[in-house]
Amino acid sequence: MKLMITKVRSLVAVLAVFAMVLGFQMTTVNSAEATDGWESRIVIAAGTAKNKLSVGQKADATNGQDGQYDAPAMLKGELKAYSGTSDNPLWRDIKGLGNATWNLNIESERSDATITISWDSSTIGANAILVDSATGAEVDMNSENTYAYSNTGPRNLSIVVAY
């Protein structure tokens, strides 16, 4: 009897989660168990200048450039932010499932600016860490939603996801 009650409780919990997901029609997943993937918008701001990047993982994406998922960055203005390399800058960078790293490059013409990076922590894949290569600072992107630094020149940061 106890085994049956436990199974019923488990089924009710699964159905409640399923109904919640359907009810909210969520498009992002924050779970190491995700089979279809996740995507999160990263906003980089310096004063009134903003760039928006999108990083994530999809089951059918590759770690190379995918025309279906990746979008090239158009670098103009006083704030330039992109994922990838200067030879292949991306505003949207979707990788395959599994451990992954996104290299974020940020440049601002405003030497006195505070650069702020923000995201919605509920849309970040499991165990994501933002790493600032200049300072060694590490930010848990699943529990925090911003990181800021004083602009001293071009900066490289990484988002590291481990399952």
Place of tokens 């699964």: 14
- 37-161: which CATH topology? Immunoglobulin-like (2.60.40)
Taking only the tens place, the pLDDT of each residue in 18-66 is 333 333 233 333 444 456 899 999 999 999 999 999 999 999 999 989 9
| Token representation of residue 10 | 């488990």
pLDDT value at position 39? 96
pLDDT value at position 26? 33
User: How many angstroms from the chain centroid is the CA of residue 83?
Assistant: 11
| Token representation of residue 40 | 């999160």
pLDDT at 139 over 60: yes
| Token representation of residue 65 | 């450039």
Mean pLDDT of 117-128: 92
